[in-house]
């Protein structure tokens, strides 16, 4: 893994750390001197497979307008039709302003927890193939490692298929 900074966490990363602490997990958020905005950048920064990176993608229900969070493997592309069938409503990609309003975070650093409002969460079944995955922690260079089973538990995510077979 790339060297971490010794300075205190940014406010956004501190919010994610507080959310992890509230769940009693001994997990530390790290802010890296390199970007983790994309799955490939994150995997390179932490020294893992792209599939171990958790992408936190916010969608909007086409009929309800409600946010839906899909946690997917960095190796996968969400098939919106497949995901919509799992969620029970047609989905559309959420605009950046909407993402920031409902999560409190900007795209490229959206974590799987610690959001401004509760968001129904769905988790890619492929993440369960790994002993450890890495998720964004509030900024484009902050991440944390977690067991996928713990991630599913603390986010109350429903495990689903998000890609075509």
Nearest to 29 by CA among 109, 121, 149: 109
pLDDT beneath 70, residues of the chain: 1-7
pTM, full prediction: 0.92
pLDDT of residue 151: 98
Question: In this structure, what token pair is assigned to residue 13?
Answer: 């990363």
Mode of pairing for the β-strands spanning 67-73 and 53-61: antiparallel
CA 72/CA 62 separation, integer angstroms: 20
- Helix or strand or coil: residue 17? helix
Q: How many CB atoms lie within 10 A of CB 142?
A: 24
pLDDT of residue 84: 94
The neighbouring-strand residues paired with 158 are 122
Q: Which CATH class is domain 11-160?
A: alpha beta
Residues 6 or more apart whose CB falls under 8 angstroms from that of 118 comprise none
Question: In this structure, what token pair is assigned to residue 88?
Answer: 């029970």
pLDDT of residue 153: 97
Mean pLDDT (the chain, rounded): 93
pLDDT of residue 7: 61
Only one residue has tokens 């996928």, namely 148
């Amino acid at each position: 893994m790339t060297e971490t900074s010794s300075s205190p966490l940014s406010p956004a990363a501190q919010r994610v750390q507080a959310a992890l602490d509230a769940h009693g997990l001994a997990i530390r958020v790290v802010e890296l001197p390199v970007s983790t905005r994309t799955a490939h950048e994150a995997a390179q920064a932490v020294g893992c497979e792209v599939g171990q990176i958790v992408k936190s993608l916010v969608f909007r229900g086409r009929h309800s307008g409600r946010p839906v969070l899909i946690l997917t493997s960095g190796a996968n592309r969400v098939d919106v039709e497949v995901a919509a069938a799992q969620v029970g409503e047609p989905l559309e990609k959420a605009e950046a302003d909407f993402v920031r309003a409902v999560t409190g975070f900007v795209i490229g650093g959206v974590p799987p927890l610690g959001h401004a409002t509760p968001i129904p969460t769905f988790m890619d079944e492929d993440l369960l193939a790994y002993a450890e995955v890495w998720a964004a922690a509030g900024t484009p260079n902050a991440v944390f490692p977690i067991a996928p089973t713990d991630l599913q538990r603390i986010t109350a995510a429903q495990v689903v298929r998000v890609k075509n077979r």
